[in-house]
Structure 1
Amino acid sequence: MDTSSAVWQHRTPAESAGTVEDTDRPEATDDVDGTAVAGRDGQPDPESSAGDRADLRLGRSIASLIALAAVAVVYVLHAALPATPFELPFGNPQAFRTVVPEGWGFFTMSPRTPDVLVYGARADGDWRQLTVGAHEGPASLMGLNRRNRSQGTEVAIVANQLRPEEWSACEREPLDCLSALRPREVPVANFSTLRSVCGEVGLVMQDVLPWAWRGLPTEMPSKVVRVVVSC
């Protein structure tokens, strides 16, 4: 007699029923391939399904933001280009230049561009700095206060009224050169809405100190001019 047949014949009905139940029971599926994990009753796990839906919504949101940012960059670049036959749908370059006046050149400006500092003349002959602090400093609320940006436009309005030959070369401390100058005979006008540069002032256009020379007591060459600004 076959041994396996004898063992099967000696099983009790309860054992046989348990064997069939174990065979028909659905196995839990792994969630590696993205399918929900099935429970003992064969239904998807609610917690796993909710997590998958949340991940899917997050992925769609990130993809949408990336797409919107890419479209915005394309429109800004197109507005900064010279005349071109290529047009974008609903494109109005003038409107984009109004909303984003800096354009792409704002981010590609050379870090070696000379800074223009403004000093106000005191009654005792000394000078006080009128230039607003760094844009990212605490005084500017870490960039939320745009006052220093508006002052840059204000200084440009004043400086553009000066001829290149009116600037004096300076090889020493700029304030010493300013003190040795006489104010420009004809005043210049400040047409800005917010005016912080008024009266007798000195403008200093100085080259940026190279990073490699940061530890040296070097005074970079500059150009200075002393003017009277009417507000």
Structure 2
Amino acid sequence: MARLKDWQDRLPLAVGEALSFVRFTRRWVVLAAVAWLVPVLYVAQIHLPGNVLTFPGQTAMAPAVNRLAPQGWSFFTKSPRESELQPFALRDSVWQDRLLAPHGAPHNAFGVNRRSRSQGIEMALLLSKARSLRWTACDRDLEACLARATRHGHVTNRTPEPTLCGTVALVEQKPVPFAWRHLLPGTHTPDRLTVLDVTC
């Protein structure tokens, strides 16, 4: 019994002294912040597109920064100026927008329903399998381009749950540049389109 009590006495069950805190002066905090902030600003500035701001020694440091801290954001993002495909289907002589995006919308259960994510793959498959595919340039508004569109190809939609069947127009649209956002009513302008007869 004495042996057990001896063992229990050696356990650190309580802390006898209050914890001590390390105090930093304001000068040390400012110096540490600057020591972290300056390299971060240099790395960011070197990797940003050309602008009016230039740091001292930026040009000389660029090769070393590119080797030590390479930035490959293009792997994770796509260009905001890249064209987008938007599907339309002809129903009762009226072209209807069939795009299921945005993915976080309420009709997609705020992103839980993943069907909208597969629609881009479905459109790519239709374009790759279409015979005699031809694009028609669209230099007017979208309604006028769709009104004069003619069928250019036939394709079978083999996706498990197709969203595009019948007469389908795939419109390639370019985003309106930010500088022109007040000059045009929408966010995208049609560039070209193709009309397919899709069998599901």
The alignment partner of 1:181 has SS state of coil
Alignment counterpart, residue 152 of structure 1, candidates 120, 123, 131: 120
Equivalent runs, 1:7-156 vs 2, <5 Å: 29-32=17-20, 107-123=76-92, 125-156=93-124
| Structure holding more strand per residue | 2
Distance 1:224 1:155, change over 3 A: same
Residue of structure 1 equivalent to 2:161: 194
Report the Cα distance in structure 2 between the residues aligned to 1:33 and 1:197, rounded to whole angstroms.
66
Equivalent runs, 1:201-216 vs 2, <5 Å: 201-216=168-183
Distance 1:130 1:221, change over 3 A: closer
TM-score normalized by structure 2?
A: 0.59
Distance 1:150 1:221, change over 3 A: closer
- Provide Cα deviations, 1:158-206, integer angstroms capped at 9, x if missing partner: 122347971011111123112212212x411111111010001111001
Alignment-mate amino acid for residue 109 of structure 1: K
Alignment-mate amino acid for residue 116 of structure 1: L
* Deviation of the 1:209 alpha carbon: 1.5
Alignment-mate amino acid for residue 79 of structure 2: S
TM-score normalized by structure 1?
A: 0.51
* Deviation of the 1:105 alpha carbon: 6.6
Structure with larger RCO (C-alpha < 8 A, sep 6+):
2
Distance 1:136 1:207, change over 3 A: same
- Stretches of structure 2 that go unaligned for 5 or more consecutive residues are 1-15, 23-72
CA-based RMSD of the aligned residues comes to 2.5
Number of residue pairs the alignment of both structures matches: 133
Report the Cα distance in structure 1 between the residues aligned to 2:118 and 2:139, rounded to whole angstroms.
30
- Stretches of structure 1 that go unaligned for 5 or more consecutive residues are 1-27, 35-103
Distance 1:176 1:108, change over 3 A: same
Alignment-mate amino acid for residue 29 of structure 1: E
% identical aligned pairs? 33
| Structure holding more helix per residue | 1
The alignment partner of 1:142 has SS state of helix
Is the 8 Å Cα contact of residues 171 and 220 (structure 1) preserved in structure 2? no
Report the Cα distance in structure 1 between the residues aligned to 2:130 and 2:79, rounded to whole angstroms.
23
**2:181 paired with 1:181:** no
**2:184 paired with 1:217:** yes
